[in-house]
Structure 1
């Protein structure tokens, strides 16, 4: 690795090449022999940061102000809505076609859910696959989207969050009903 860095540095690119070689060496050390697409993760994080920065710039351009405070009701609404929307995107059978380019079907999951593995065709494809199959990973994106929505379109955002919150409640009622039915039969 050191020889490669020295060869690249001697090619006239100097600091940029030396920095790239150092970053590659750090990534290789981190991977510890595993296939971890750090470059893909960097790209996904950069897209997220660009979207947030773009929303902040647009808010400033449009003279949109952040809310003075966020009501507890909004936090609860967004939390439950984020939970359901992230599970819908990452696990629902019907949304599988959205994930198919990045995942492979592995089996059934919970009620109306599937289990999928991430394809490792490329660093970016793998990173996107990890993001869209992980409800915890999607939560950051979705909650941020709801937060941005509260700045630009609070009424629509609350309606969408309330819809997904109602679905969350409905899911828990279905599960409670099924458990009660099983208890009554068994």
Structure 2
């Protein structure tokens, strides 16, 4: 929590120093885009097999936990365990992802919207893949 608070504080100071202003409000479209992208990014970081090498210093493989998702156990103690808890919990890392998108919308809105749109498209594709698999299963 202290690291998160320090990161947000440093980001806020950097924004102030750059002269960038926070928007008066976040549009419904940006909020929806950020929400879906945060969901996907947090699951990508915490559960996806592709990112398992990044989690490996903090976790050990424990099996699968869903379609194309891994279950991993946190290992170590102190900071290593704390980082392991963070990077294996999509709910926990989601706070960091959402904060990154929020700062991104202020600092580089076009690039942030593009990255969020890609993650949102992947989320939609995932839903379609899972739905297709269920339909195939029901047909057989």
**Do these two structures clear the TM 0.5 threshold for a shared fold by scoring above it?**
yes
TM-score, normalised on structure 1?
A: 0.74
TM-score, normalised on structure 2?
A: 0.97
Following TM superposition, the consecutive aligned residue runs of length 4 or more in structure 1 with deviations greater than 4 angstroms are none
- Higher RCO, 1 vs 2 (CA within 8 Å, ≥6 residues apart): 2
Question: Would you say 1:93 and 2:70 are equivalent positions?
Answer: no
Residues 21-170 of structure 1 correspond to what in structure 2 (within 5 A)?
45-119=1-75, 121-170=76-125
What is the CA deviation profile of residues 126-175 of structure 1, one whole-angstrom value per residue up to 9, with x for unaligned ones?
Answer: 11100000000011000000001011001111111111011111110001
Cα distance, 1:109 vs structure 2: 2.1
The gaps in structure 2 that reach 5 residues or longer are none
**May I ask how many residue pairs the two structures share in their alignment?**
140
Following the alignment from structure 1 to structure 2, what is the Cα–Cα distance between the partners of residues 183 and 60?
A: 56
Partner of 1:114: helix, strand, or coil?
strand
Following the alignment from structure 1 to structure 2, what is the Cα–Cα distance between the partners of residues 122 and 137?
A: 18
The aligned residue for residue 5 of structure 1 is none
